Chain A
């Protein structure tokens, strides 16, 4: 086959940076350069760069010498004649219709992945990790808090004992048929830690399988049934591996955002993970509320106790109702309504 038109280009020989003006031609399966430099190469030895509209088009020869095409339209035409076809990716990149299809598909995958895929995967991974991995993460957290936030508890020892004993008898909703104090899945029992604090009434779970109760929350609720509701909520965080799940999810969102926007600005790449992670935080809280409701029912404690506990907590912190999209916890009124509905 002989393609009659010759195509102007700039040839670089790979030995020096000299510019050779040449004509490119194909004769009988041989690429022929004529002009400042004369070269002949079998067509099969040529490597042709991918087609784009705005970048230089190149034909690279076996020794690394190459030709930059000046007349790209004529070159495309020649390739078409020779039966050269672009790869699937190149064709997709050059068509607006395909690119828009890809855009839509990417958005759908990202949204579904964020709403369902990632939480599902994180749940599965968190469950299959050895308990030691989770405990290692929280190691030293209580020490840190003791140094900076907490003082020793001033609650009477027998009050502490009563709460610990009641909690030990509490049967968690899952895993079934174990007592809270001695979960079968994790050999380490859950310990309740009492502390006096500067942060007011609060309760939270540490992955080292400790639940911290501040003196202030015990005094505020002043009711062991309500306290069991709060403890059941924290137990949910521990038994459902919420911390590990959050960790996996926020890492994945962070990596994704950096991959997407890191090019433009690290500062911008930091904003979406913050907002996206808040939803996961609220989801986990609702999850723990459900767990608490199930556990209370299982132990024949009125669910209303838990709702009242949240009400009291909400009043004590004098929470103004925050913007639901910018909050780590679901709005209190919604939480309470949800719990009462489950009753």
Chain B
């Protein structure tokens, strides 16, 4: 080994190569439209049974269209497992709906049962989703325990209910922290360090913007309800009817401006504070573009009576995914697969248990 080669190696060790890779999403709306409609019809004529296979196909398409650093993602979910999850979900929803319409006591019992099983189901389905995702032939995984799942998906959300949602941003941060710091790629864990105060900041901005927008709308149009106090006959007055209509329109308008704002800030916060090993993620979503995409998507879907749905889905995903990049600290070639997690004796039992996916 020559001296210069030795120096080169030393340099590599002390100064790991740093590079930024952009996520690219190659899915096309027109291709996904065809995949969507073919699988939709098959799902309808099989009374929904085929929808599990349709979901596998859709996820495989989305995953395989998502590329970063010369590798793409792959989805390995088993359709039978998804079908089981969907049947369970329908049974739960039906029982819940019956209970709600029957009596208060049954509703309460059902809520308690749901509270007891939902965190467990969410936990299982998180494991299912990550275990069945891979990149560069290395599987993802999820470590989190059932106890943590109950804390994050039951305890904090219930506490937010009792604090008039003041704890909501805190609960949201805890859930994201749970998801992002318990996930792994091969044997390498993700880490998450966004602060609770940042979550409060985002929701506060959303809240204040909504109030300001509401006041502006109110000042511009006057109160639509002013006329109603004069008596029942004003109900037939077309001017006040239009007023109410305008107010509703403004309400929707505000919702469709604030909602993308929170969405944008949230994705950026979450991914700018997530690492995989030493590699740092970034997200650079813009509010204006996000709002434009969401509003035009909704208008498109309404105007085409739903036929634009798959195009809307692709546009939205493409913008969200391509905003994400990864700055490496060292090579991306060194991730190692978790030790044979699907062939060892306990592993087989584990995958059997994992054969369950609740997400619809």
Q: Which A residues lie at the B interface, using CB under 8 A?
A: 10, 12-19, 49-50, 52-56, 58, 64-66, 68, 89, 92-96, 98-99, 102-103, 105-106, 109-110, 136-137, 139-140, 247, 251, 258-265, 267-268, 271-272, 318, 320
Check A56 against B60 for contact (C-beta < 8 Å): no
Q: Which of B67-91 contact A (CB under 8 A)?
A: 67, 70-72, 74
Interface residue B26 (Cβ < 8 Å from any Cβ of A): yes
Q: Which of B30-64 contact A (CB under 8 A)?
A: 31, 33-35, 37-45, 51, 57, 60-61, 64
Contact of B137 among A13, A103, A247, A265 (CB under 8 A): A13
Contact of B28 among A54, A95, A140, A251 (CB under 8 A): A54
Contacts of A109 in B (CB 8 A): 41, 44-45
Check A92 against B297 for contact (C-beta < 8 Å): no
Check B60 against A19 for contact (C-beta < 8 Å): no
Check B34 against A96 for contact (C-beta < 8 Å): yes
Check A263 against B313 for contact (C-beta < 8 Å): yes
Interface residue B302 (Cβ < 8 Å from any Cβ of A): yes
- Pairs A-B, 8 closest by C-beta atoms: A12-B137, A55-B64, A17-B335, A99-B34, A56-B72, A18-B333, A14-B137, A17-B136
Check B60 against A15 for contact (C-beta < 8 Å): no
Q: Which of B176-184, B192-200, B304-312, B349-357 contacts A (4 or more CB under 8 A)?
A: B304-312
Check A52 against B64 for contact (C-beta < 8 Å): yes
Check A261 against B333 for contact (C-beta < 8 Å): no
Contacts of B166 in A (CB 8 A): none
Check B306 against A260 for contact (C-beta < 8 Å): yes
Closest partner residue, chain A, to B302 (CB atom): A268
Expressed in whole angstroms, the Cα–Cα distance for A318 and B232 within the complex equals: 11
Interface residue B144 (Cβ < 8 Å from any Cβ of A): no
Expressed in whole angstroms, the Cα–Cα distance for A264 and B332 within the complex equals: 34
Expressed in whole angstroms, the Cα–Cα distance for A197 and B34 within the complex equals: 56
Interface residue B231 (Cβ < 8 Å from any Cβ of A): no
Expressed in whole angstroms, the Cα–Cα distance for A119 and B34 within the complex equals: 30
Contacts of A105 in B (CB 8 A): 41
Contacts of A262 in B (CB 8 A): 360
Given contacts A50-B60, A55-B26, contact A98 B333 (CB under 8 A): no
Check A12 against B71 for contact (C-beta < 8 Å): yes
Closest partner residue, chain A, to B53 (CB atom): A89
CB distance from B300 to the nearest CB of A (A): 9
Check B27 against A54 for contact (C-beta < 8 Å): yes
Closest partner residue, chain B, to A207 (CB atom): B101
Check B70 against A14 for contact (C-beta < 8 Å): no
Expressed in whole angstroms, the Cα–Cα distance for A260 and B101 within the complex equals: 26
Contacts of B135 in A (CB 8 A): 17
Closest partner residue, chain A, to B74 (CB atom): A58
CB distance from B169 to the nearest CB of A (A): 21
Check A264 against B313 for contact (C-beta < 8 Å): yes
Interface residue B337 (Cβ < 8 Å from any Cβ of A): yes
Looking at chain B, what size class is its interface with the partner chain?
35 or more
B 95-129 to A, binary, CB cutoff 8 A, 1 in contact else 0: 00110011110000000000000000000000000
Interface residue B219 (Cβ < 8 Å from any Cβ of A): no
Interface residue B15 (Cβ < 8 Å from any Cβ of A): no
Contact of A52 among B38, B61, B337 (CB under 8 A): B61
Contacts of A50 in B (CB 8 A): 57, 60
Expressed in whole angstroms, the Cα–Cα distance for A50 and B360 within the complex equals: 23
CB distance from B324 to the nearest CB of A (A): 18
Check A68 against B104 for contact (C-beta < 8 Å): no
CB distance from A134 to the nearest CB of B (A): 11
Check B301 against A17 for contact (C-beta < 8 Å): no
Closest partner residue, chain B, to A57 (CB atom): B64
In addition to A52-B64, A264-B301, A267-B298, 8 A-B residue pairs with Cβ atoms within 8 Å of each other are A16-B186, A16-B335, A52-B31, A99-B37, A106-B44, A110-B44, A136-B103, A320-B236
Given contacts A68-B72, A264-B297, contact A16 B31 (CB under 8 A): no
Interface residue B216 (Cβ < 8 Å from any Cβ of A): no
> What are 11 A-B pairs with beta-carbon distances under 8 A?
A12-B136, A17-B332, A56-B67, A58-B64, A89-B57, A93-B31, A99-B33, A106-B41, A136-B102, A264-B313, A268-B302
Check A16 against B336 for contact (C-beta < 8 Å): yes
Interface residue B65 (Cβ < 8 Å from any Cβ of A): yes
Expressed in whole angstroms, the Cα–Cα distance for A262 and B89 within the complex equals: 16
Check B71 against A106 for contact (C-beta < 8 Å): no
Closest partner residue, chain B, to A15 (CB atom): B337
Given contacts A19-B333, A106-B40, A109-B45, contact A264 B72 (CB under 8 A): no
B 220-240 to A, binary, CB cutoff 8 A, 1 in contact else 0: 000000000000000010000
Check B31 against A54 for contact (C-beta < 8 Å): yes
Q: Which of B220-273 contact A (CB under 8 A)?
A: 236, 255
B 118-157 to A, binary, CB cutoff 8 A, 1 in contact else 0: 0000000000000000011110000000000000000000
